[in-house]
Amino acid sequence: MHHLNNTHSGLIHMFSIGKSYEGRSLLVLKLGRRSRAYKRAVWIDCGIHAREWIGPAFCQWFVKEALLTYRSDPTMRKMMNHLYFYIMPVFNVDGYHFSWTNDRFWRKTRSRNSRFRCRGVDANRNWKVKWCDEGASMHPCDDTYCGPFPESEPEVKAVANFLRKHKKHIRAYLSFHAYAQMLLYPYSYKYATIPNFSCVESAAYKAVNALQSVYGIRYRYGPASSTLYVSSGSSMDWAYKNGIPYTFAFELRDTGHFGFLLPEVLIKPTCTETMLAVKNITMHLLKKCP
């Protein structure tokens, strides 16, 4: 990230939105052609769950592709000219580090609990939207522990503060997870239809078709609650409830054969097909959705 910030200052600006529990910088790349005109923005985060390594790989891939194809690809040029992208390659930076050094299957943050020896909170159950209800646990030793209170995790609080501050111009929120091969949209915490369902649903349908066109990989799409499972306190629902009209969560490859241990040779095909889906969603929002 530092390297890209230094070598592509025309399209990239890196900044920190805070510090993790263990004191690491929470870095975000702002990507897009600078212009004085008002520009809408898209937020993309990866690695909210530590063990889902293909997430951070995709965020890096997205930035690389934007920089490499900005001049040659008209779609990418349009995206960079008309929008800003806020990209957070590693949301749960402490957990991610721990998954490389200690426990490959670590999921949560690394915060300490005063009463239990178990560490960490599920950063995707820690948001203030139906917090700690169905699909979240109140026990600190569980993988889906919702935390002592909403936004207890400094990483979640930092992102929530940033999104609150910029919600007027952030029109889309995309979060990258693994694994299941799904493209999900709200609601996650209840079985109900979102008000702008038709637009969001058609964007998802087109994105999934674009993704499949590359290697034939099939994704299911739909509301998270009925497509995956009910879960409360998720970032996607929170972003939607806080005025960002287009919020999606990707569950990338695969469907369980490798699971979290997706081999390196599948990084490139996974990212290539996912890139098409993201471009598709972005262009759909630019063109069609009010």
Residues taking part in catalysis: 251
Q: Would you call 243 helix, strand, or coil by DSSP?
A: coil
105: its two tokens: 């299957």
Of 186, 178, 3, 188, whose CA–CA distance to 107 is shortest?
178
Sign of CA dihedral 259, 264, 266, 270: positive
Nearest 10 degrees: Cα torsion 177, 19, 103, 253? 10
For residue 111, count other CB atoms closer than 10 A to its CB.
22
Range list of β-strands (E), 134-215: 170-178, 182-185
Rg (CA), the chain: 18
